[in-house]
Structure 1
Amino acid sequence: MKTENKRGRPRKFDEDVTLDRIMLVFWQHGYAATSLDQIAEATGLNRPSLYAAFGSKKDMYLKVISRFANQMHAHLQEAGQSASGLQPRLKAVMAAAVDLYCGKSSLCNAAYGCLAISTLTTEVADDPDFKTMLEKVVQRMDQGFADLIREETRGTVPEAGVRFAAQHLSLILHGLSVRARAGEPPSTLQALAELAVDRLAPKPASESVV
């Protein structure tokens, strides 16, 4: 009688939920300091299962950065649609970003700042793929602000002014991320964000004439 070796069926898991767990590990420790053992412990999966589903550690990291960028974009876009007028909408976006950076959102419950800004910036010098990913994240942030400004100003602000304001607002977000991870109180970050919007939000040409 032929004996058949039966292998246990691999345990099914939700890839999105697992990626979110992987994301939190990288978010807390950064890319270099994160081990596959930490990822395995956080996900409940062994290394072969992780490799089969998500590829190498680098592949996992790039996947979660991309997932984070999409989630953050949706989070900030929703906030921006909750108000009307340029400055109120920009302040709503900034407030939502501060909440996310300080662990007050559905994405994370710890003050880790922005996943991309907090972890990618330390890796770009050694890996062109990480540099490309960081450039995409920054450009997407710039584009989001620029689109909002264009929508609210309806052609009354020169394109150069739109891009200038968008890039500077992105810079403010980067700084808020660093300060959040360093433990700056959310109230201070919110105040800095609102002041930045007051100073950087472009005025339509008709309003800038005294």
Structure 2
Amino acid sequence: MKTESKRGRPRQFDEEIVLDQIMQVFWRHGYAATSLDQIAAATGLNRPSLYSAFGSKKAMYLKVIERFADQMHIHLREAGLTQTGANARMKEILSAAIDLYTGKSFHTDAAYGCFAITTLPAEIMDDAEFQSALSQVLTRTDRGFASLIRYEANGTMAEQDIQEVAQQLALVLHGLSIRARAGDPPDLLKRLAASAVDRLLPETSKSVVES
């Protein structure tokens, strides 16, 4: 049975589910190599229905980049809340990211790495919107890590140090994404992540969190 809507009638599909299906296609193939026929096949919708609901191929891609960034933020935030202390929280966050990057989360069952980091860089040289989208993803990561470190440091770290450590940890996160897509096993990635956190946020330097 066709899932697209007819003119003047409510759509007969869940837009969020379809966006996630579109995301999987872009995540696997990248933006340039993804065709509308592949998206139509993955979603079960024809081109007119896709255009009507989500706009052009570029618009679809930008929508799912934003959706992935929101989902990633929630995924990592929830992981970090299971621990206390900057060192333990950051290790849990990176571990959760590795699970996602290697296909061990509900987001994907394939080792695709980070959707934004593995697909956006190839597109930014000739497109300001793609460049802005990547910049927003990077900035969001930097700010999230800095906020965690600032809270846990409780006034014991200079702001410049907080920003630099946050950016260094973000570099680790992005490197883990590339290595995951290249096929490195999760246990290796988690050892590398834990080692990096111990160097950048040693347990002996963490402060006592206010109760």
TM-score (norm 1): 0.92
Give the Cα–Cα distance (whole angstroms) in 2 for the partners of residues 53 and 7 of structure 1. Answer: 12
Q: In the alignment, residue 145 of structure 2 is paired with which amino acid? A: F
- Alpha-carbon spacing, 1:58–1:77, altered in 2? closer, same or farther (3 Å): same
- Alpha-carbon spacing, 1:202–1:157, altered in 2? closer, same or farther (3 Å): farther
Aligned partner of 2:130 in structure 1 is: 130
* Kept after mapping to 2: 8 A contact 1:146/1:163: yes
Give the Cα–Cα distance (whole angstroms) in 2 for the partners of residues 7 and 184 of structure 1. Answer: 48
Greater radius of gyration (CA): 1
Alignment of 1:32-111 (within 5 A): 32-111=32-111
* Kept after mapping to 1: 8 A contact 2:26/2:34: yes
- Alpha-carbon spacing, 1:7–1:165, altered in 2? closer, same or farther (3 Å): closer
Per-residue Cα deviation, 1:68-108 (whole angstroms, up to 9, x for no partner)? 00000000000000001110001000100000100111111
After superposition, the CA RMSD in angstroms is 1.9
Q: Which runs of 5+ in 1 are unaligned?
A: 1-5
Give the Cα–Cα distance (whole angstroms) in 2 for the partners of residues 23 and 148 of structure 1. Answer: 28
Give the Cα–Cα distance (whole angstroms) in 2 for the partners of residues 11 and 95 of structure 1. Answer: 39
Cα deviation for residue 52 of structure 1 reads 0.4
Q: In the alignment, residue 147 of structure 2 is paired with which amino acid? A: D
- Alpha-carbon spacing, 1:164–1:10, altered in 2? closer, same or farther (3 Å): same
TM-score (norm 2): 0.91
Q: Which runs of 5+ in 2 are unaligned?
A: 1-5
Give the Cα–Cα distance (whole angstroms) in 2 for the partners of residues 206 and 168 of structure 1. Answer: 17
Figure out how many residues of one structure are paired with residues of the other and give that number.
Answer: 202
Cα deviation for residue 201 of structure 1 reads 1.4
**SS of residue paired to 2:108:** coil
* Kept after mapping to 2: 8 A contact 1:143/1:166: yes
Give the Cα–Cα distance (whole angstroms) in 1 for the partners of residues 41 and 82 of structure 2. Answer: 38
